[in-house]
Every structure is written in C-alpha cells, then in structure tokens.
Amino acid sequence: MYNLVEVTRHSQLRDFISFPDRLYRDCPQYVPRLRSEAERELTEAAALKYCKRRMWMVSDGSEVVGRICALINPRYNERHGVRKLRFGWFDCINDIEVARMLFGAVIAWGKSEGMTQVHGPFHYSSTFRDQGLVVEGYEHVPPFNCRFNFPYYNDLLLELGFEKENDWVQNEMVANHGVPQKARRMASICKQKYGITIGSFDKLRQDPERVREFFNVYNTCVSEGAYGFVPVAEEEMKELADYMLPYLSDRTCCVLQDPQGAIVAFCITLPSMSRALKAAHGSRFLFNLLYKRRALRNCQVMDLLLEGALPEWRDKGISAIYYREMGDRAIAYGSRRAISSPQSERSSVANVWKDYEHEPYMRRRSYIKDI
C-alpha cells in the first residue's frame, strides 16, 4: 500500500534528494547531483523569491518509491499569457499508481492556484537546466545540466493523459577537425570589416559589471530562439555566476566585442563534468578534486552550453568568428568530441550543425495536459 506525503521537513528533503541515487544505482548512464547543490536549489534558489513550489513523495511503507516538485513561475505565465503549472524533479518506480498519486497532488494544487494546464519537466527557468525527459538516446550519458530517466517515464505520462509539448535535440560533434575553410575565411572577413575583438572570459568573470552585461546580452540573444524563455532576473545573475563561472575560462569560452568593447556574441563550453560527478557520488569536495585533476587536464569530451549573438549582428557572419575560435581551442585542448546543449526543434539554431560532422545524441521532450 502506497502513502503520499508532502515534503515539509529537512529529513524528508534528504529522502527526496537521495531517491534518484537509489533508483538509478545500477544505471551506467545516470549522473548524480552534488548533494549540497541539490539541497540549495530546492531551498535557497533565487527564483524562489518569486516562484511558488511544493514537493511530494510516495513511499511503500519502508522506502521512497517516487517524488515530484510542482512549480508556479508567475513571470513565465505573465510573459506568455498562460496559466501553466510546471512539474520537475519527477522520478518514480515503474508503477502507474505511484505516478498517478504524485501527479494527482500536483494537479490538485495547480487547480487551487487557478492554473489551467500542467507541463514539464522543467526547472524554475526552462532555459538553463533540466528541461524535458529523455525519449531517444538512452544509451548515452547526459551532460551535467541534463537529467537522465528510464524509458518507462514516457509511458507513465502518456497513460496519465499527457501529450507532447516540445522536443529538444542534442547532437554529438567531432571536436578536433576545426571549422571548414569557408567558415574560416568568413570569420576573417567579418572580424576585420566590423572591428570585432576577442574578449577575455577570465577577466570578465572577475568584474561584476561585465558579468551583469553578459547576462543581459544572454537574455537578448536567447529570447527569440529558446522555447518558453524566461529572462534571467537580476537576483538570479549572481547565483548563476557563482554556479557557472568558476569552471569557465578562456581555454574553452569565447566572448566577442565590438570596437567599443561591448559584448556582442559569446560561445560557452566546458570540459564534461559527467565522469567526475559519477565518481564523486554527491560529494562536492571529491568532485572538485577529480574534475580539476582529470577533466581540466585531459579533456576528451566538451559540453557546449550556450552560444548567441545580438540580433543586429546575426546576419553579419559573426557566428563564424566564435565557431572558428572554439574549433581552434578544442584542438589545442585535445578535445575529440563535443555534445550540444538541448536545442528546441522549433528553433533554427538546431539546424546550425548540418555543416559540421555530427550524429544524434539525445532527444528530450516536455509534456502538457489540461487540468
């Protein structure tokens, strides 16, 4: 007999966080989260200043067998003119009754808050992390900012009446062949014609004003192409900077500047964290030790996190500059493969890789249901 409980105590939160580690204990594709980071994002995330969230677990009397988090992001709903409740942190055993209990709690709360649809899985913001369930590419290990799930998750959601909302695709590229000669020539012409310079990411991350400028540029660059976009709010910029910037450097990142030194484009990559996270088993100390010793010194796989150019620069060939830069840096770094971030199938950005050697890596899907 199953029992549904809302997560309100710290001891319950620990069970909520640790459940996936037990569920995926024997799964080689699963990448565990750092325990401290998992707790922080559920209790101290800047988005909680404006988002509502509740969490539930189902147990069988002796141990947890399912979990889910329900979120209401008023900035998302206002921006898109909807009343959507989102779910995330969904994991459960292959039992429709467990899934039905979890989503029953989510939907009941959503209705009480005036929501008309539930969709997900999403994080607080649908751009940076944890968007969609894996529906193709189960044999692959995901990047650190993407969750893994068993194939039966899709079956459970379909049985509960959910439908496809959006797909994101991820590709695997050859990283050590550089860019085509045509792209190299275009990069040289564009750089000289418009006076573009290559900025230093090492210097940028040490300057709070430049960090704020970077995130403002990011908001402008991504707003048109990212499905269900929510701009990074002022209170979230420092949090994301603290989360991302310590692992980024000029060795793997590129920032382009106009003649006045303003940021006009960027390409952000980093050595894959997945192997170090798997070996660390949730320990931040052990992860930092392993990542610095292994991945940063011998980087075979790169994760392509973010890229973009301001709208007024997109038709001027500026992307050729940062693709050339990143290709050269990957060769210098000794990288062999690169995994793209999830890119919505509705966005033209997903087509950029057709000119490069690539293979499908993963497909992720969000689901939606009227309530």
Give the span between the Cα atoms of 290 and 288, in whole angstroms: 6
Give the up-direction half-sphere exposure of residue 35: CA atoms within 13 A in the CB hemisphere. Answer: 13
Up-side HSE of residue 209: CA atoms within 13 Å toward CB? 1
How does pLDDT run across 71-83, given as a tens digit for each residue?
999 999 999 999 9
Cα–Cα distance for residue pair 177/358, rounded to 1 Å: 12
Residue 108 confidence class, pLDDT cut points 50, 70, 90:
very high
* CATH architecture observed for domain 3-169: 3-Layer(aba) Sandwich (3.40)
Tokens representing residue 240 in the block = 């994301």
Domains 3-169 and 173-361 share a fold: yes
The arithmetic mean of pLDDT across residues 147-171, rounded, is 96
Cα–Cα distance measured from residue 89 to residue 20, given in angstroms and rounded to the nearest whole number = 9
Give 239-286 pLDDT, tens digit per residue. 888 888 888 888 889 999 999 999 999 999 888 889 889 989 889 888
Radius of gyration of the chain (CA): 21
* Cβ neighbour number for residue 143 with a 10 Å cutoff: 23
Cβ(349)–Cβ(304) under 8 Å? no
* Local structure of 30: helix, strand or coil: coil
What's phi and psi for 45, nearest 5 deg?
Answer: -60, 140
- The overall average pLDDT reported for the chain is 90
The pLDDT tens digits of the residues spanning 82-106 come to 999 999 999 999 999 999 999 999 9
Amino acid identity, residue 166? N
Q: Tell me what pLDDT residue 131 has.
A: 87
Q: How confident is the model at residue 26, as a pLDDT?
A: 94
Whether the predicted pLDDT of 354 surpasses 70: no
| Residue 352 in this model has a pLDDT that exceeds 70 | no
- Could you identify the residue written with the tokens 């973009």? 308
Please, which pLDDT band fits residue 295 given cuts at 50, 70 and 90? low
pTM, whole model, 2 decimals? Answer: 0.91
Q: For residues 233 and 198, which has the higher predicted lDDT (pLDDT)?
A: 198
Work out the average pLDDT over 143-152: 93
pLDDT in tens, 239-250: 888 888 888 888
Residues β-bridged to residue 170: 362
Pick the CATH number of 173-361 from 3.30.710.10, 3.40.630.30, 3.30.830.10, 3.10.20.30: 3.40.630.30
Can you tell me the mean pLDDT for 318-335? 87
Higher pLDDT, 98 or 202: 98
State yes or no: pLDDT of 350 exceeds 80.
Answer: no
Rounded Cα distance between 263 and 260, Å, is: 9
Q: Where are the domains of the chain?
A: 3-169, 173-361
Q: Cα(325)–Cα(179) distance, rounded to whole angstroms?
A: 9
> In which band, very low, low, confident or very high, does the pLDDT at 348 lie, cut at 50, 70 and 90?
low
Length of the chain: 371
Residue 242, classified by CB atoms within 10 Å of its CB into exposed (0-12), middle (13-18) or buried (19+), is exposed
In the block, tokens 């860019």 appear at: 179
Residue 268 pairs with which residues in a beta bridge?
253, 306
Percentage of the residues of the chain whose pLDDT score is greater than 70: 94
Among 7, 82, 75, smallest CA distance to 371 is for 82
Q: What angle do CA 107, 119, 157 make, to 5 degrees?
A: 80
